[in-house]
Amino acid sequence: MKSFLEKLNAFLLLLMFAVTLLQIVARVILKESSVWSEELARFLFVWIVFVGAAALVRDENHIRITVLTGRLPPGACRALRILTQIAMIPFVVVFTWGAYLNMVYNWGVRAPTIDWMRFGYVYLGLFWSGLIMLWYVTANLLKEVLRSWFGHEGNFKTRR
Amino acid sequence: MTSIITIGLVSLFILGVPIAFSLGLASLGAYFFDQGLGINIPIMAQRMMYGINNFLLLAIPLFILAAKLMNTARITARIFDFARNIVGFLPGGLGHANTLASLIFSGMSGAAVVDAAGLGQVELKAMQDGGYDRGFSVAVTATSSTIGPIFPPSIPMVIFGLVSGVSVGKLFLGGVLPGLMMAAALMFMVASYAYKRRYHRDPFPRLGVVFKSFFQAFLPILTPAILLGGIWSGFFTPTEAAAVAVAYALVLGLLIYREMSLRDLVEVFISTAKETAAICFIVCAASFYGWLLMRSGITLKLAAAIAGVSTEPIVILLLMNGFLLVIGCFLEPVVAILILGPVLLPVITKIGIDPLHFGVVMVLNLMIGLLTPPFGIVLFVMVSISELSFENVVRVTLPFLAPLLTVLLLITFFPSIVTALPNLLIPG
């Protein structure tokens, strides 16, 4: 799934770039400013960020400060890793829940300049991102707990 | 509430919870403490969405993309060759070439880490082949990469513009003179080392060679002119300029120099999307945090408290410098701007310091932080590309902070170094 998300995001990035470029071309060469392009590019950007952020959770590639993690004995380090995964859960839950509510409220709300676009679709990106994060955080947590209980990862394959 | 956020943030950071999630969780905790069970669940997701639903921020992925494309298409190598031919004959020639190449490249890239990791590799290799000792090479490469986000374009300046409302075009132009001064100060440093250690110099280049390398690097060297000229003349916005830079890099890499394959291209897009998500998800979480701070009115109280200490702008600025230098040792520049911007800006405006001036001063402070232990990211990049130990990288880089600190003091004391150019070119 992670590889799919990454490719999807690369494609969205390409689209976003193309739309932004089109906006300049339209204005400078065709002398016609397109109002919809800026909005579409922004929505693509929102998707890139949230979907990308979800993909980063799996391999724990989010930016973090690693002052403690590298310097503790293995046992304490493992406990710390479990603790950090648990700490992420309340935030992800409230985020996903909020994204869901926003999605429902805004499902029919039209974007000002794009006919077929609804604000709900933008929040769909957030909601989807939240669900993936929840999945990855839980999986990482379970993996870590199993490893410390049984000394190995049970049925979870090592993915690193 | 302030104490919950501060203690929460610091402890989550130290525990190693990712920055974005720490910001979100600490803010959520404070919000919950304030409102009890009556908290408005959708508000956080909403703030996070609005935090990045901003056309200005699209410049971040686009500038990262442009710089990566230039690295992949070996355009950075052309720039370095050109710089070497121009200043290589000076004592410590490759050190000067290193600085000049970084200055030129900073005109198309906006993040120090991209400069250090891409161009830095070219520079290090050339200096090692040229017989310079590794420590000196690493120090020059590391420090010169921090010119990137001072000289326009600049991702930290885009973020500062977002937080402060100062025009990004003006912030970009405000970085031009300080960027040039940094390059000059570093070259002075290189020259003094070269004199002491009797570094050899390249032979004076024949005119034909200079012209040849100039033509080979001519199109890339044009990039900063296109970007700055476009922004200055109002032809395009900073974000659009970033898209132009990407298009230009694509044309150079795929059509003119043909040093980039389609496979490389996919790699670059994937890694750019990843980095974008990593940075901008922090922007999302920080915007919820910023909204919470704003709502509580803490920042205004803090502003009043600091204004009570002194109303002398220069005293306040020096205090801020000290504070930011320390913070810069621990936080990534973009993160520091997002977290501290909403707190410090009311202080700045209350005391009557030009936010445009403060923006450039703040970014330079944080750039120096990239070169200081324990969390200087550029130092880590240097460790990974040079095979020196972290301790060694720190030791050799330390003396090179002096020229940067000198420039920092100069622009702190003389605001017009920053503000003159933007106010001249973009009145009002």
Q: Per residue in B307-324, pLDDT tens?
A: 778 878 899 999 999 989
Q: Is the peptide bond before B374 cis (omega within 30 degrees of 0)?
A: yes
Q: pLDDT tier at A154 (50, 70, 90 boundaries)?
A: very low
Q: Test A92 with B21 for CB contact under 8 angstroms.
A: yes
What tokens appear for B398 in the block?
């330390």
State mean pLDDT over B369-382: 86
Contact A62 B18 (CB under 8 A): yes
Helix (H) or strand (E) holding A25: helix A2-28
- Segment (H or E) for B153: none
A35 touches chain B (CB under 8 A): no
| CB proximity A36 to B under 8 Å | no
Q: What does the pLDDT average to over B275-288?
A: 91
User: Phi and psi for B195 in degrees, rounded to 5?
Assistant: -65, -45
Copy the structure tokens of residue B129: 């082949």
- In this structure, what are the phi and psi dihedrals at residue B29, rounded to the nearest 5 degrees? -60, -45
Lowest model confidence (mean pLDDT) among B101-110, B353-362, B391-400: B101-110
- Which residues of chain A neighbour B62 with C-beta distances below 8 Å? 17, 20
Measured distance CA(A123)–CA(A130) in Å, rounded? 10
Under a CB-based contact definition with an 8 Å cutoff, are residues A92 and B42 in contact? no
What per-residue confidence (pLDDT) applies to B37?
84
- What was the pLDDT predicted at A156? 45
Residue B46 one-letter amino acid = Q
Asked whether residue A18 carries a pLDDT value surpassing 50, the answer given is yes
- How high is the pLDDT of residue B198? 83
Q: State the pLDDT at residue A53.
A: 96
- Mean pLDDT, residues B138-151: 94
> CA of A145, closest CA in chain B: separation in Å?
17
Q: Which of A154-158, B28-32, B151-155, B283-287 has the lowest mean pLDDT?
A: A154-158
Q: What ipTM does the predicted assembly reach?
A: 0.91
Q: Is the pLDDT of residue B197 over 50?
A: yes
Give the model's confidence band at B386: pLDDT under 50 very low, under 70 low, under 90 confident, else very high: confident
Read off the pLDDT band of B416 (50, 70, 90).
Answer: very high
pLDDT single digits (tens) A71-106? 788 888 888 889 999 999 999 999 999 999 999 999
State pLDDT tens for residues B219-262: 998 988 888 888 888 888 889 999 999 999 999 999 999 988 99
Q: Taking the CA atoms of chain B, what radius of gyration do you get in angstroms?
A: 22
What is residue A46's predicted lDDT score, i.e. its pLDDT? 97
Q: What's this model's pTM, rounded to 2 decimal places?
A: 0.89
Asked if A64 lies within 8 A of B19 by C-beta distance, the reply is: yes
Structure confidence at residue B185 (pLDDT):
97
**Amino acid in position B138:** V
Contacts of B272 in chain A (CB under 8 A): 10, 13
Q: What is the pLDDT of residues A103-143, one digit of tens each?
A: 999 998 888 888 888 899 999 999 999 999 999 999 999 99
Question: Which are the contacts of A104, defined by CB distance < 8 A and separation ≥ 6?
Answer: A120
CB pairs under 8 A between A and B: 188
What does the radius of gyration of chain A's CA atoms come to, in whole angstroms? 20
Contact A79/B at CB under 8 A: no
Interface subset of A 98-137, CB within 8 angstroms of B: 98-99, 101-102, 105, 122-123, 126, 130
- The Cα–Cα gap between B96 and B189 comes to 10
CB contact under 8 A, A13 and B272: yes
Name chain B contacts of A46, Cβ cutoff 8 Å. Answer: 49, 52-53
Residue A159 pLDDT class (50, 70, 90 cuts): very low
- The alpha carbon of residue B331 is apart from the nearest alpha carbon of chain A, in Å, by 8
pLDDT at B400 over 70: yes
Query: What's the rounded mean pLDDT across residues B84-98?
Result: 91
The mean per-residue pLDDT over the stretch A48-57 comes to: 95
pLDDT of residue A160: 39
Instruction: Tell me which chain A residues have a C-beta less than 8 angstroms from the C-beta of B246.
Output: 17, 21
Is A88–B17 a contact, with Cβ atoms under 8 angstroms apart? yes
Contacts of A12 in chain B (CB under 8 A): 273
Min Cα–Cα distance to chain B from A115, Å: 19
The pLDDT of A26-55, averaged and rounded, is 90
